[in-house]
Amino acid sequence: MKAAKPGLSYRGQVWPKPNDLASAIGNAGVDVVSSPATIGYLEFAALYAVEHLFEEGEASVGVGFDLKHLGAATPEKPVDVASELVAVDGIRLTFDVEARQGGKVIMAGQHQRAVINLERLLAGAKAGQTQDGPLVLTGRALMPADVETVAQGRKVQVAPDAAAAMQRGRAVVERYFDEGLPAYGLTTGLGMRATELLSRDEAAEFSYQTVRGRAQAVGEPLSVAEVRAAMLVRLNTMLTGEAGVSPHVAQALADALNAGFTPVMPRTGSIGAGDLVVMAGMAHALIGEGEAFVDGERLPAGEALKKVGLKPLELGPKDGLAPCNNPSHSVASAALALAKARRVLDAANIAAALSMEGFRANLSPLAPAANRARPQPGQMETAAVLMRLLEGSGLHEPGEARRLQDPISIRSVAQIHGSSLASLQVLDQAVTVELNSCPDNPLVVAGEGRVISAGNYHTPWLTQALDTASRAMAQAGNDLVSRIQRLCSPDMSGLPPLLSSASTNRAGFGPLLKPLEALRADVIHLSNPVPVVSSFNANGVEDAATLSPLAARKLDRLNETMSYLVAYELVAAAQAVDLAKLDCVAPRLAKAHRLVRQHCAFMAEDRPIGREVEAIACELVLMGGLADVYR
């Protein structure tokens, strides 16, 4: 980033859109223009103030707000937004922001943004696959890591073989209308109207009715990345040909992705029996009747389509149901949460190994012989990763370890993090199957020339895999806090009390144990499984739910909280290494130590380090800034 100095500012004017009207969810007493909408306007104001300073490949992400909601606004008048850069702390930028309407302040406070490197953000992409060109989609080979690259802007291309498969599936659909054959949701209505036969023209009109009647989700919009991921998943699962959708519908999705047309999709509405109501928001925008984001601006969908040079999607029979009735939102959210969890776990391994260095741990529990004795999934692989990180450490020399038996949180990292790794591998398998399978009902079996009823939109295994991953990651977070507490204990670590640079009149890391335990409580709370519930929809025909979107959202939130915990351990472990005055630190861990110190200096005196921890959580943990340590 080019040199940034306080004083840079931006002032502009925005008009509240009709869908900014508040629903009172999370906004008690705000009944006109929602807080989330105003916050979004202020975020853009901050971005505009500094975007000209970004180098190629750089961007920024919001990492914090401290705002006061001071009044409501009306949708008939413009809102004046202003931002001023007031502090620069490494990659962290702090802005004073304010929103006014008619001269009256409706929201004011501070907003923080972190400058990031987009290559690091996309570090989770599948090895060996270039991100320079479009991602070629076949319907059968999409990987979870690919989802994040498209979510962040990569373009796509439909493979010729996939287009041919769609033509074969569509031919079966057309034959059903030609011969007047009954098929649920194709030549009949839906739910309670499943016994009503439809003509081809009636079915085409019913496609529009399906979209309009089911675009009923509420709440804050999904992020652009989340929507792009959902669009990609639906596109790829159409390409199997088993959805029976018109080929031009899939091409419209590809064109929208490549043009930067992102439907506004409110978050809340799916119970995980297909994401019908949430995904209908995507289809509603594609037919030109909803809303969409283009270049960060929220527009009526018809206007947005014109801006990017696209036309509204025309729907034939089944073309309304297919974009709506599928679990693509759940699957996409799971894929993004999985990618983030992998980066968090990679960083957690580095943090744990650095703690071992500072603690001067006994490395015998990481020996291959110890882990071969009970080779649970993930355990041996994690032990090997930790040993690689510790290559060249003085701890390998006889007599260097301080204790014969270390606390469990240090002694059993291979078992703890190994279970997290194994759970993420299970989730990876579940997501991969969903990405490359057809969830549609009805399902077209082109090889047999028939349309059958199916239940593949229902995702109980995905929910279970997500909940298992959340619990395993929470276990790692819980024991991480225990390791920091052991580092702070002179009886355990042999280091100064509370990792202070002096034995008297210093608080050291003592006050940090409270936010650590608050974060741990949040992680443990988020590790609880989603409820097992029934449902009553379509007069009892749709009577079950999986709540997959909630499980995916929960894992994503847990990842965010875990990133702070891992950042705290990196800081504490770096402090321990410095206090221990080690002669020989493993080269890879020495590199990690230097990266931590670029954000957080040694605590010679007591000082607030919250902002430094936040920067480490963002840049080194969530954005994959520690990836080079493994090389």
How does pLDDT run across 509-553, given as a tens digit for each residue? Answer: 999 999 999 999 999 999 999 988 776 676 566 667 888 999 999
The architecture of the domain spanning 135-326 is Orthogonal Bundle (1.10)
The amino acid present at 348, given as its one-letter code, is A
Residues of CATH 1.20.200.10 domain(s) within the chain?
333-443+454-630
Distance CA 576, CA 272 (A): 46
How does pLDDT run across 386-431, given as a tens digit for each residue? Answer: 999 999 999 999 888 888 889 999 999 999 999 999 999 999 999 9
Banded pLDDT at 13 (limits 50, 70, 90):
confident
Question: Does the global pTM surpass 0.85?
Answer: no
How does pLDDT run across 583-623, given as a tens digit for each residue? Answer: 899 999 999 999 999 999 999 999 999 999 999 999 999 99
pLDDT at position 109 is: 87
The amino acid present at 619, given as its one-letter code, is E
Residues of CATH 1.10.275.10 domain(s) within the chain?
135-326
Percent of the chain with pLDDT over 70: 87
How does pLDDT run across 560-582, given as a tens digit for each residue? Answer: 999 999 999 999 999 999 999 99
> 384 pLDDT exceeds 70?
yes
Instruction: Report the CATH superfamily, name and number, of domain 9-116.
Output: Hotdog Thioesterase (3.10.129.10)
Distance CA 102, CA 33 (A): 14
What mean pLDDT is predicted for residues 101-110? 87
What mean pLDDT is predicted for residues 203-219? 93
Is 1.20.200.10 the CATH classification of the domain at 333-443+454-630? yes
Tell which residue, 54, 20, 52, has the closest CA to residue 39.
20
Distance CA 536, CA 55 (A): 53
Banded pLDDT at 49 (limits 50, 70, 90):
confident
How many helices (H) and strands (E) would you count in the chain? 21, 16
pLDDT at position 23 is: 29
Q: Coil, strand or helix: which one is 451?
A: strand
Banded pLDDT at 123 (limits 50, 70, 90):
very low
> 501 pLDDT exceeds 50?
yes
pLDDT at position 55 is: 73
Distance CA 391, CA 393 (A): 6
> 28 pLDDT exceeds 60?
no
How does pLDDT run across 185-210, given as a tens digit for each residue? Answer: 788 876 667 778 888 999 999 999 99
Residues of CATH 3.10.129.10 domain(s) within the chain?
9-116
Name which residue leads in pLDDT, 253 or 108: 253
Q: Which residues pair with 299 in a beta bridge?
A: 292
Q: What angle separates helix 379-389 from helix 328-359, to the nearest 10 degrees?
A: 50
